Chain A
């Protein structure tokens, strides 16, 4: 949170001693707010004021980057408790744990599965982010698995080991990949910190209490390690929600620098549904990373979809360009359907038109990203606007007929739209899922397209 000149003024001695080179403390404060002067120009400023100014200058939740290249994962930099206050910024990373005790063929199979976990929804490509290798065997085995995994994936890596030598070798093997080191604790920090510093990699700081975490991150900060992810360990779901909420709250509302980092949760459940629902909980409640074991398609599809929903910008619904989209091998007798330019509306209609295998035109009307019913209620999907959009898009030059299919939910506008456009209006199904059978039946009626 940036401080105003007046906020800063309150932190200064207010003696107008001029030693900073400015005529008054207020003038100095104004320059500080503009970042045109440095606070150490004031010889009398308190440590407390200095700390407040410094923490005001950096984001309340630090940005942490894991991995490199196009699969680089950025987390943190969050500014709100509730998405309606602005938006959640950097989507929670989703990763899978591979235990080094697994046999090689099984690991390779798991990797292949993980790489298949990419989907396209409403025009966005969704994919999982991280692969975590957990040490459960000796150093050699761990490093062999790290080598195998890193050689076979572009995903970001998490190295889960507390063994100094294993970590050292694994970091050497993954140089340039910027893996996340899991994890530093009060007990092992002195033994691991030099290694971590040498490779300049992000680390997980872990403690079961927030006090413990706070002490640990302050220590790491002093050592120059700033890319930190917080972990409060395995706990019952509710305690984890509490920890995650407190971390976010303290960082945002109390400017607690020592907790101003993204948080991570490792899920340890064997039931795939329960595992998935717990992961969903942390996506909703302030998680920066969730790591799980299950790699079922339905798990990834549901978690990625939820993440896409929650991290969408509430002020800017996903929109597509308002124009005519031909679907399939269209001719001038193909039917024409109209919907809004809200991505979800359009892509839902698109996928059903594709499923029908009936080539068709979809006209997307500019409703500023509102869905059919919302747009209709807000007068963005009126007969006048639809007919204007038909003209502007040149629909009449693409089809020889003069028939337009409208969503069933706005059946009420059909009369007026006929008058406004001069086209014959057919009321389509209310739900997009009805489109395939609707279009197939339509196609069986040649009089529709030829009239």
Chain B
């Protein structure tokens, strides 16, 4: 007796979000990034469309990071003091199709740059590079509420993805993003209910749900990865079952979390039983990314060029199976 396949057919699908505006969309980007739109669980291509491949955004900062480990510094420290050169390197040398710029320099403890200065920086960056941008604040709510609106205005019409809106601080960001035609990252603390609530609150402010991307908050492998993995699986199952308010694409800040992990940081001298640190750091970032892709990640924000190269290869290998 032949065994019939058991195929799931889902009534819902993930919302499709476009990052970047090219000429036809009223912006100046050379390419746009389309994300989301899946109608199946990750990479089960027989069961529903999977229209866009997951995308990797290179993370760059507006100010030199002080505590990034040597393994990252080896590749990147030469450009830490010049964010435009850093962006350029990611695009030309590492073939970035999306950049995620963190405005860390606006933080009161790390430079306290003014909203005006950051807006000017974003304008310069937009002139310098033609890929779409994800732009995130420094994490200080009060400061982000000044800086992000100024940057939204500076990037008006370029359809950037701005973040992060959180449950206690979303109104200013959502209003600015909405006014200037951008999209927003809604961040929830590994909590599916807050994620949904925040999506509802933001869309109630008039921002179409297609312009929301969810940051479920992740932990690196060994540091709570499994919590994010399961929250993402649950949210994605809800989305596919038809819950529009859970159907935003996921953005995962893989680099930021991975390079905090001890396994990615310590040298073989300090920890001989863990072996050489170069590959260890890279695999930590690449495997964390791979696991999140299998839970439904759409955008991965990453740091190490070699880890990016490996994850890109992994995505390409998966997507080669995407033949209708």
Residues in chain A within 8 A of chain B (CB atoms) = 82-84, 116, 119, 121, 210-211, 214, 236-239, 241-242, 245-246, 249-250, 253-254, 256, 258-259, 272-274, 276-277, 280-281, 284-285, 296-299, 301-303, 305-306, 308-310, 312, 314, 344, 348, 351, 355, 371, 373-374, 377, 431, 433
Closest beta carbon of chain A to B206's beta carbon, Å = 30
Given contacts A253-B6, A274-B313, contact A280 B290 (CB under 8 A): yes
- In the bound complex, do residue B233 and residue A297 qualify as a contact, i.e. CB atoms below 8 Å apart? no
Q: Which residues of A contact B282 (CB under 8 A)?
A: 273
- In the bound complex, do residue A310 and residue B226 qualify as a contact, i.e. CB atoms below 8 Å apart? yes
CA of A377 to CA of B189, assembled, Å = 11
CA of A250 to CA of B1, assembled, Å = 14
- In the bound complex, do residue A302 and residue B221 qualify as a contact, i.e. CB atoms below 8 Å apart? yes
- In the bound complex, do residue B263 and residue A371 qualify as a contact, i.e. CB atoms below 8 Å apart? no
Closest beta carbon of chain B to A118's beta carbon, Å = 9
CA of A129 to CA of B267, assembled, Å = 27
Residues in chain B within 8 A of chain A (CB atoms) = 1-3, 5-6, 43-46, 189, 221-226, 229-230, 233-234, 237, 260, 262-263, 265, 270, 273-276, 279-280, 282-284, 286-287, 290-291, 294, 310-311, 313-314, 317-318, 320-322
- In the bound complex, do residue B3 and residue A211 qualify as a contact, i.e. CB atoms below 8 Å apart? yes
CA of A281 to CA of B5, assembled, Å = 21
Given contacts A84-B230, A119-B273, A314-B230, contact A280 B291 (CB under 8 A): yes
- In the bound complex, do residue B230 and residue A83 qualify as a contact, i.e. CB atoms below 8 Å apart? yes
User: Among the interface residues A242, A249, A431, which one has the most CB atoms of the partner chain B within 10 A?
Assistant: A242
CA of A371 to CA of B221, assembled, Å = 16
Q: A250-B6, A308-B222 are in contact. List 4 more A-B contacts (CB 8 A).
A: A273-B283, A298-B276, A344-B223, A348-B223
Given contacts A277-B286, A314-B226, contact A298 B294 (CB under 8 A): no
Given contacts A273-B310, A310-B229, contact A254 B6 (CB under 8 A): yes
List the 9 shortest-distance A-B pairs measured between CB atoms, nearest first. Answer: A238-B321, A297-B275, A309-B226, A298-B280, A84-B230, A305-B222, A298-B279, A273-B310, A302-B283
- In the bound complex, do residue B234 and residue A301 qualify as a contact, i.e. CB atoms below 8 Å apart? no
- 12 A–B contacts from the bound complex (CB under 8 Å): A83-B229, A242-B44, A246-B5, A246-B6, A250-B5, A277-B290, A280-B291, A298-B276, A305-B221, A305-B222, A309-B222, A310-B291
- In the bound complex, do residue A238 and residue B43 qualify as a contact, i.e. CB atoms below 8 Å apart? yes
Closest Cβ neighbor of A246 among chain B residues: B5
Closest beta carbon of chain B to A83's beta carbon, Å = 6
- In the bound complex, do residue A281 and residue B3 qualify as a contact, i.e. CB atoms below 8 Å apart? no
Closest Cβ neighbor of B293 among chain A residues: A281
CA of A299 to CA of B284, assembled, Å = 10
CA of A377 to CA of B46, assembled, Å = 42
Given contacts A119-B273, A273-B286, A301-B274, contact A312 B226 (CB under 8 A): yes
Closest beta carbon of chain A to B169's beta carbon, Å = 16
- In the bound complex, do residue A84 and residue B233 qualify as a contact, i.e. CB atoms below 8 Å apart? yes
Given contacts A245-B44, A274-B313, contact A306 B3 (CB under 8 A): no
Q: Which residues of B contact A308 (CB under 8 A)?
A: 222
Given contacts A238-B318, A277-B290, A298-B280, contact A309 B45 (CB under 8 A): no
Other-chain contact of B224, A249, A297, A344 (Cβ < 8 Å)? A344
Q: Which residues of B contact A237 (CB under 8 A)?
A: 317-318, 321
Closest beta carbon of chain A to B68's beta carbon, Å = 12
CA of A236 to CA of B321, assembled, Å = 8
Q: Which residues of A contact B294 (CB under 8 A)?
A: 281, 284-285
- In the bound complex, do residue A309 and residue B310 qualify as a contact, i.e. CB atoms below 8 Å apart? no
Given contacts A237-B321, A273-B283, A296-B279, contact A250 B3 (CB under 8 A): yes
Closest beta carbon of chain A to B269's beta carbon, Å = 13
Closest beta carbon of chain B to A14's beta carbon, Å = 26
- In the bound complex, do residue B6 and residue A280 qualify as a contact, i.e. CB atoms below 8 Å apart? no
Closest beta carbon of chain B to A230's beta carbon, Å = 12
CA of A259 to CA of B224, assembled, Å = 32
Q: Which residues of A contact B46 (CB under 8 A)?
A: 242
Given contacts A351-B262, A373-B189, contact A238 B320 (CB under 8 A): yes
Other-chain contact of A121, B5, B222, B290 (Cβ < 8 Å)? B222
